[in-house]
Homo-oligomer: A and B are copies of this chain.
Amino acid sequence: MDPQPGRKRLPRKVREQQMLDAAVQVFSRHGFHAASMDEVAERAQVSKPLLYLYLGSKEEIFSACIAREADRLVNAIGSAALNRDDDPADRLWHGLTAFFSYVAEHRASWVVLYQQARSQSDSLAAQVARSRSEIIDTVTELVRQSMESPARGGDGSNYAALRRESAAVAHALVGAADALAEWALAVPGEQPEATARRLMNMMWIGLERRAKGEGYHAPDGPAGTDGPAAPRP
């Protein structure tokens, strides 16, 4: 007789994953410092000493969460964006769709990765910064390829500027995606594809025209370092 089947004596690897699942949930709700390891243990249906025996310390548990979730997210985006056709726009589109789907489905994962992670100041910052830049780098590369493809002759002189601009775009894109993902969760019936399309519409066209040399011309602002200011249409 076994009243609760599957609820006892699991192999270590399985338990560890359960613990990490619980930890991600708790960290995402409360943040690193406010998260209670008692709560993690309770959620994982396990006692606290086992948690510590398997995973070390609170920091190590957080670290393991970050590593696992970053890996999952990068894989999700990468497999959607990289193994596709060569058109940068479509790759970006698929990547964004994958991202919004991922966030919608694994919200806690994203919260831990992007939001909770930013604020920590300890040694966690390094770990977190690495994971974040892994994501940003993927996007930066995507954007960079997009920006050099149309109407960019062998212009190698402003390569540094191109790199800087693509980094800026990538950061903005990820930030916008984050904010949009949170917004989308509060809007009933907003599908991940729809959110991705919104973001593409906002930014991609800007990129295309930017590549052709067009752009917004600032009026005479407080600091006029704009060079020759042309009138807007």
Contact = CB atoms under 8 A, between A and B. Distances in A.
Interface of A: 29-34, 85, 89-90, 93-94, 97, 111, 115-116, 118-121, 164-165, 167-169, 171-180, 182-183, 187, 191, 193-207, 209-210, 214-216, 218-219, 221-223, 225-226, 232
Contacts of A176: 171-173, 175-176, 179
A120 B35 CA distance: 11
A121 B30 contact: yes
Contacts of A198: 165, 168-169, 172
B205 A210 contact: yes
B216 A210 contact: no
A188 to B, nearest CB: 11
Contacts of A119: 30-31, 111, 115-116, 119
B218 A214 contact: no
A78 to B, nearest CB: 16
